[in-house]
Chains A and B, each alone.
Chain A
C-alpha cells in the first residue's frame, strides 16, 4: 500500500473495539445476534431486529459490494492523493449492514456501483481502518 493518508481516528471504546481493532488479527467484525443471527451496526446494546442483548463480536468474510461512491476532489485537509474514493459498501453476509469506507488499490475512475471488493486494513496508532480493494475477477 502506498503512503498512508492522514485520517481522523475514531475514539475506541469497549463497545466499538471489536470493529476498530479487529484488523489487528485481519478480521472485520460486527456484533451478531445469537437468537436471530443478524449483524448489528453501528454497535448497540440490543439487536435492532429482535431486541435481544445476546450479541457477540463475529468475523465476517470481508467481502462486500460497492453500493455507491464519490471521488473526493476537495482538499478538506491536506493530502497527496486527490481525488480519493469514499464509498458505501454492503457486506456480503447482510446487505443492509453498510459501511462508509474508502476504495483503494485501483484507479479512482475504475470504481463503480456493484463492484466486488474485499477488506484490507490500514493501521493507525491503536486502530485498524477497514478499507476495501477490488476483488480480481
Chain B
C-alpha cells in the first residue's frame, strides 16, 4: 500500500490574534492567519494554488465560522487549481487531510488551510448558546430537521455538552472512570496554559476549584467544557518535493486517519464509550510502522474533557477502558511525562480554535519553538487529533 499522504508536508503555520470578544471582523482575523502562514512558509500568495477550510460559509450559527473559501479566495485574489470547504468530512482536520490528498494527487502544490471562529463575540454576554439557536430566532417557530438535530433538540439536548456527557457517563459506568480522573484533562491543560502567553485562562486551577465549579451536564462541570474565543489558524500543506526550497524544515505527514466505520450518529453509534475517533485512530496506525510509544507529544481535541480521554484510548496510549487510570494523578500527561498532552492548554484553557489549535501546537513543538512549554528532548513525532461524535480526523507528524 502506498501511503500517499507522505507526499505532503506542512511548511508554514499562522495564527491571528486570539481572545475573548475581540469584536473584530472575522474575515480580517482569518486573513491575518492566512497571510502569516504564507509568510512563515517563505511563500507569497502567488504560490498558493489550493484552498481548504472547515466548515466554510454557513448560516444559522453565528460565530461558528469566520470565513468561507470564496471570501478568502477573493480577498487574496488567489488563482486556484483546487479548493474545498464543508462540514461533511472527517472532522475539523478533515480539511487538512483533504489538502494532503490534493497535493499528493498533484492537483496543487501549496494548499492554504484555514479555520476561523468568532464564537466569543457572537455570544456576547449571553454565554454559550444552544445548537441551532435552541428556541430559534424565528419566534419559536423553528423546527428541527436533519440528522444532527431532529432527534436531539426535541429532547432538550441543546448542546454537544449533553451529547458527549452521555458518552462519558457510559464510560464511567462500564469502566469505573471517575470525575477525579477526568479532572486531570482540565488541570493539565490549565497548567500548560500558564506557560503559554497566548492562552485564555492562565491562572492556576486546583482539584478543589474543579469540584467547586457549577455543573453543566453531568458528569461535566464548567471546566470540562472548552472556552469559546475569536481567532483563526492557518497552515500551508505543500507537495513534499517542493518543501526543500522553503524557509522551514518541512513537517512530514507520516499517516492520517479519517475512518468512520460505525454509524454517523451521536446516539446510534455501536459503542457508547467511544466515538468515530476509534475508527480514525485505527486507520492511522494501519498506515504507519510507528506505534503509540514513538509519539513524543500528543495534541488531542478537548472540546469536552472526555473526548481527550476517548482519543487517548483509541490511539492506543492505553487500553480501552483504562483511560481514567492512565491520566490519574496527571503525571503521565504532564509536560515532563511520558505523553505530554495538550501542551498549549488545549481548547479548555487556550481557547476553542476548533481543532486547528492542536495541529498548530504540534507543529510548534516539532519546530522546537514552544518556549517555556517546549517539550524537552527535541520531539520528533507528534499526533494531532480533532473531533468528537461522528467527526474525527487525525494526523501523525514527524520532524524532518
- A residues with a Cβ closer than 8 A to B are 5-11, 13, 16, 41-42, 67-74, 76-77, 79, 83-84, 86-88, 96, 98-102, 113, 127, 129, 131
Residue total for B at the interface (Cβ-Cβ under 8 A): 43
Q: Is the CB of B218 within 8 A of A70?
A: yes
The segment from B164-172, B382-390, B392-400 found at the interface with A is B164-172
Q: Is the CB of A5 within 8 A of B156?
A: yes
Bound Cα distance from A79 to B134, whole angstroms = 12
Bound Cα distance from A19 to B136, whole angstroms = 23
The segment from B266-274, B276-284, B321-329, B369-377 found at the interface with A is B266-274
Residues of chain B from 159 to 177 with CB closer than 8 A to chain A in the complex: 159, 161-162, 165-167, 169-170, 173
Contact of A68 (CB < 8 Å), options: B152, B154, B161, B169:
B169
**Known pairs A72-B156, A86-B157, A101-B155; A42 contacts B147 (CB<8 A):** yes
Contact of B150 (CB < 8 Å), options: A7, A16, A84, A129:
A16
Complex contacts, A10 vs chain B, CB 8 Å = 143-145, 150-151, 153-154
Bound Cα distance from A97 to B142, whole angstroms = 27
The prevalent SS among residues of A at the interface is: strand
Q: Is the CB of A99 within 8 A of B217?
A: no
Complex contacts, A8 vs chain B, CB 8 Å = 132, 134-136, 142-144, 153-154, 158
Q: Is the CB of B151 within 8 A of A99?
A: yes
Complex contacts, A76 vs chain B, CB 8 Å = 129-130, 134, 158-159
The prevalent SS among residues of B at the interface is: loop
B215 at the interface (CB under 8 A from A): yes
- B residues with a Cβ closer than 8 A to A are 128-130, 132, 134-136, 140, 142-145, 147, 150-159, 161-162, 165-167, 169-170, 173, 214-220, 266-268, 270, 272
**Known pairs A11-B144, A86-B156, A100-B266; A70 contacts B162 (CB<8 A):** yes
Q: Is the CB of A99 within 8 A of B134?
A: no
Q: Is the CB of B150 within 8 A of A11?
A: yes
Bound Cα distance from A7 to B268, whole angstroms = 22
Bound Cα distance from A53 to B79, whole angstroms = 47
Smallest CB separation, B219 vs chain A (Å): 8
Bound Cα distance from A87 to B166, whole angstroms = 7
**Known pairs A9-B144, A77-B130, A87-B166; A42 contacts B150 (CB<8 A):** yes
